[in-house]
Amino acid sequence: MSAVLQDRLESGVEITRTLPGQGAILTPEALALLSKLHRRFEPERQARLAARQTRQAAFDAGALPDFRPDTATIRAGEWTVAATPAALRDRRVEITGPVDPKMVINALNSGANCFMADFEDSTSPTWANLIGGQWALRAAVRGTLAFTADNGKHYTLKPEAEQAVLLVRPRGWHLDEKHVLVDGQRISAALFDAALFLLHNAALLGGRDRGPYLYLPKLQSMEEAALWEQALAFIESELGLPHGQVKVTVLIETLPAAFEMDEILHALKDRIVGLNCGRWDYIFSCIKTFRRHRDHVFPERGQVGMTRPFLRAYSELLIKTCHRRGVHAMGGMAAQIPISGDPAANEAALEKVRADKLREVTAGHDGTWVAHPALIPLAREVFDARMRSPNQKHVLRDDVEVDRDDLIEPVVGTITRAGFENNVEVCVRYLAAWLDGNGCVPIHHLMEDAATAEIARAQLWQWLHYADGGGEPLALEDGSPIDFVLLDRILIGLPSRLARIPGMPGADHVGEAIGLLDRLTHADALADFLTLPAYERID
């Protein structure tokens, strides 16, 4: 054992993997900060995760989500949050993607207003990806990031004035980082990602009025937001940053959080600059929340669009809440990617994006997300035509009245054989790619990430377990029963179908992905996240 590693072990910090150059990221200062964060905040993180389980048990027993009576004064109060910095006043088009060097360069150069560099749903958290992502962001902030592809093409950054503003999304509270142990315990993946980025970049970004800015994922309560506030204030103090220097946008992508938007804003009032309609994770959360409710079985994913009443209520309540409190209300993701070789199909896909962005800007959203650079001009054109100012925070939407039942209105629709098979294929293909280290995968002209795979996986479980409480199983639109015989038949035939796809990401992991999906769907309880068991299978 090296002397350096021995010193780390003696201080209670153990690194279980070693990569060339990781010492530039995992400096002694970084390890000291991570150990302090773990020892101070891990008990509260575990308490928050336990509270999630308690709340879900109540939902499984028949309870319904609702606005909290104990926080009514926060919702009724007249208050606003801290001012938004100049660099984030115009966020009309944001692009998102993983943290590999090529993506970081292309996204920062893309012409979008902002780039969300994502350690969460679009990054498979292999140790190489995580350390490489921190290295890429560190180099990008310093203007030195470059990349040469296998074909010899060289990528470099444009001048900072021409770059998108950088925001970083760490992983959620529910995830551990297994490669770093403090006192023998895995540390919080959320704090690992956030602390390393801030340690290496916050001072430089702050000095240029470009941040540091974070996106916070998968919160379920104001207490979870308060935990972020405490942790970020602690990091600021440790790094000598002014309180509130770190600004955050929170994704409202769980059903419980939709009932606590005011409370989340209040808990982060010194640093929050926006809420985002994380639509795909939100749909997944709705399915998961109502997994035992027979009157809340969702139809296939293609039938659950933002014009559905429960999603429209969620979007409009978010806009009203944000603008009342003085922050941006960001719209959701357009997952479409260009369809080459089929102009008619490509135009039809782009028309769907155009209609979606028009809905958002007309409703009052201040900006939107795209997954592919080719969609940036379209999204910008729609927002430029309807939003002449940097944002629409002056549009208060006092006409919006949303109650509990609006947010949980059941969704009526059907399940076709094609829809069922597509869910199976998306799950297997995404899991196979994720196990191979790729967290952002094009499938059928959509950019699929963990959120969309989770929808497909949760729906399969809900459909297959519909009869657990008694009664007949669900049926496909053609009358065929939805049962494990149907699932097994599709899984058996899938490898030969996928083998015909040239260059399919994760092709060597298809069998492993099928086995994992089979176990997840047969389990008596719906797993909280498919990435939890999958994480134990990657390096």
**Could you tell me which residues come within 8 angstroms of residue 491 by beta carbon, excluding any fewer than 6 positions away?**
424, 428, 514, 517, 518
Q: CA distances (Å), 383 to each of 355, 357, 367, in order?
A: 12, 7, 8
- Note whether 304 and 414 are within 8 A (CB): no
- Give residue 10's identity as a one-letter amino acid code: E
- Note whether 365 and 334 are within 8 A (CB): no
What's the rounded Cα separation, in Å, for the pair 490 and 306?
A: 29
Q: Is 470 exposed, middle or buried (0-12, 13-18, 19+ CB in 10 A)?
A: exposed
Q: Which position among 169, 279, 291, 308 bears the catalytic label?
A: 169
> Is position 281 annotated as part of the catalytic site?
no
The alpha carbons of the chain give a radius of gyration, in whole angstroms, of 23
- Note whether 190 and 43 are within 8 A (CB): no
Q: Which position among 356, 397, 449, 457 bears the catalytic label?
A: 449
> Is position 449 annotated as part of the catalytic site?
yes
Q: Which residue has the tokens 């086995």?
A: 515
**Bridge partners, residue 182, by sequence:** 13, 185
Q: Closest by alpha carbon to 435, among 129, 70, 119?
A: 129
**Could you tell me which residues come within 8 angstroms of residue 115 by beta carbon, excluding any fewer than 6 positions away?**
94, 95, 96, 97, 104, 107, 108, 164, 165, 166, 167
Provide the annotated active-site residues.
169, 449
